[in-house]
Amino acid sequence: MKYYIGVILCVCCIAIHMAFTNDKSTEQLPITLAEQQYTLDYNSFINQLQTFEYVLNDTVISSMHQQYVILRNAYKKIEWLLDYIDPIFVKEYVNGAPLPKIDKSAPSLSIINPKGLQVIDELMGEEQLAIDEIKQQVVLLKTVFHQYKRTEKLYDRIIFDAMRVACVRLVSMGITGFDLPAGNTALPECKTTLSSMALYLKFYENNASKAAKNDYKNTVSLLNKSLQFIKPDVDFETFNRAIWIRNYINPLFAQLLVLKNKLGIETIYESTPTHIRFAFNYEATSIFSAQLLSADYYFNIPTDVNKTALINLGMTLFYDPILSINLNRSCAGCHQPEKGFTDGLPKSLASDSGTVSRNSPTLLNAVYAERFFHDLRAEGLDDQLEHVFASNQEFNIDILELMKRLHSSADYVNLFKAAYGKNALINKQQITLAIASYVYSLTGINSSFDKYMRCETSSMSNDAIDGFNLFMGKASCGTCHFAPIFNGTVPPHFVESESEVLGVTSNTDWNNPVLDNDPGRMSGRLKEGAEIYRHSFKTPTVRNITLTAPYMHNGAFATLQHVLTFYNRGGGAGLGLLVPNQTLSSDALNLTELEMNKIIAFMEQLTDSSGLTGRPVSLPLFENKDWNNRPVGGNY
């Protein structure tokens, strides 16, 4: 039992340190106290790793599980700060997804094996514990935490921004069990995070006692209520997430900003060079609003253009078949506004004959992504156009030819002038920027679900509420379709687009499943041509899903019932197919028919294309009169 002595010593040190901290609290600045607390919590996590390593040497399985819970709680105390200060460190070494990934810094294809807490969680979920493998992961973590130097001092701004980001992390990941591939302790861990935040918030009590007394009290009250709502015997499947978020966490998110501003604490925008943009909008007052993310982060319109005129030009081009070589097709063929900017077909029609290889995805809220196309090959909204122009199944047009055409229309010349002023050139860059700007404008985060969560409406059907709770809980939908956009852009920083291997089948004959043979992301980018990306596809948004049938990259599932059934069976691997790198668990979800219908009832509340479906009345005129009777939107 010798190895326990070190641990006990460490615990004593912490106790002494705490006493010391409390004595001085009356005369120390909040941030000094926060610094001390964070150092304490950080070292405590290292100590718990150490203890866990000792316990793994023992033979008592139950004490391993006990210590594992303690270890996770120690991590949850620091996660909200650590992941704010250095999210890449957390992702690469501490709590990244337990999947192999490509080393982006390597000059040739190189796969990094997963490491960290999520790998440990998977291992701890096994019936026969692989002690050596667990220990190896623990030692790795311990080493890296020992080596890792804090890169930034804490500032008041960081404490408050980190708490607000933590609210989003709790909503989009914490309550879904995102980082617990095998465990079921997600909700108690949410409590640990909130308790830790409450501790740090208390350091500001004296500062707030003058100008911000009530705002401080309101913030503490919301924090306490959100804690109390998670009962000690909380059940992962029945916890009412919708009410918890709506009544406590979303208001807390807003209230923390009020308090921070009252305290005179600077904004992140004042602390960072202005050309650095953030996806997360640090001035947002609700998680369920278009404010939360800055569309300008994903697609930045230059300041020297007329934005309204640019979007108008883009809209005109979007519906104009002048873009295709035979003047037949426009963007609006495959992306029809009435169908949520899809075409209702399993695979879009090719311009010559047959179909293109994949299903047309919605453009609504498309801007909130890092990468585009089902295989993630394009990097920006405007990068996509080149592929459509060049494809002989789509517009099949040389951009130089298109430039020549547009130059020959006085109407278009004027539209470009209105948008770009004296810099109007009608070149590839300006054409694609305009169309992409129109797509950028197609955002709608005012569905009846959003309004309910923002307390702008007083109720939503019980089925939809149950559906949301299932979506975010038992059915695990929310672990990939992240709230609040419900797409694969990873919270809480929202700077990376995810793709998943689901093992999608080529039809809905579940008894004789056939794996769809599209290689997906593996054949997207040269530098991503790895086996781990075979059949991997971008996670689309489920917003407006009732408008966008049929579903999946191949359009093989005609109804949402098909989609839910597929997931309920554990995807391709769950159906018995060989899908070596499936990232979806192959376990059945055990959802009942009623539960699946409730999830659909929830998703039906996510529709908002209001004000976005208008088509231009007419198209610009050309000198070539033959072109002037082309229909708005072309033929499809």
CB of 404 to another protein, least distance (A): 12
CA distance 525 to 111: 15
CB of 237 to another protein, least distance (A): 35
Where helices occur in 319-398 by DSSP H, the ranges are 331-334, 383-390
CB of 617 to another protein, least distance (A): 30
φ/ψ region of 327 (left if φ > 0, alpha if ψ in -120 to 50, else beta) reads left
- Which residues on adjacent β-strands are paired with residue 329? 634
CB of 59 to another protein, least distance (A): 30
CA distance 378 to 80: 32
CB of 612 to another protein, least distance (A): 21
The per-type count for the chain, helices as H runs and strands as E runs, is 25, 4
Choose between 9 and 621: whose C-beta lies nearer to another protein: 9
Tell me the two tokens of residue 119.
């790998």
CA distance 609 to 602: 17
Choose between 490 and 619: whose C-beta lies nearer to another protein: 490
Tell me the two tokens of residue 520.
């997906």
CB of 267 to another protein, least distance (A): 8
Choose between 304 and 623: whose C-beta lies nearer to another protein: 304
CB of 139 to another protein, least distance (A): 12
Choose between 244 and 297: whose C-beta lies nearer to another protein: 297
Choose between 91 and 225: whose C-beta lies nearer to another protein: 91
Task: Find out whether 430 and 277 touch, Cβ atoms under 8 Å.
Answer: no
Tell me the two tokens of residue 152.
């930034």
CB of 172 to another protein, least distance (A): 16
CA distance 202 to 256: 13
Choose between 110 and 228: whose C-beta lies nearer to another protein: 110
- Nearest CA-CA partner of 575 in 160, 565, 186: 565
Residue type, 525: R
Choose between 89 and 510: whose C-beta lies nearer to another protein: 89
Choose between 28 and 461: whose C-beta lies nearer to another protein: 28
CB of 582 to another protein, least distance (A): 22
Distances in Å between the Cα of 299 and the Cα atoms of 125, 137, 258, 365, 517 are 42, 39, 29, 12, 33
Choose between 271 and 462: whose C-beta lies nearer to another protein: 271
CB of 185 to another protein, least distance (A): 27
Query: 542-560: b or e for each residue (b if 16 or more CB lie within 10 Å)?
Result: bbbbebbbbbbbbbbbeeb
Distances in Å between the Cα of 107 and the Cα atoms of 93, 173, 313 are 21, 33, 41
Tell me the two tokens of residue 197.
């935040």
For 161, phi then psi, to 5°, come to: -60, -40
- Nearest CA-CA partner of 3 in 43, 75, 68, 56: 56
Please say whether the dihedral angle defined by the alpha carbons of residues 599, 370, 176 and 63, taken in this order, is positive or negative: positive
Task: Find out whether 555 and 359 touch, Cβ atoms under 8 Å.
Answer: yes
Largest pairwise CA distance in the chain: 93
CB of 431 to another protein, least distance (A): 11
- Residue 603's Cβ-side half-sphere holds a number of Cα atoms within 13 Å equal to 28
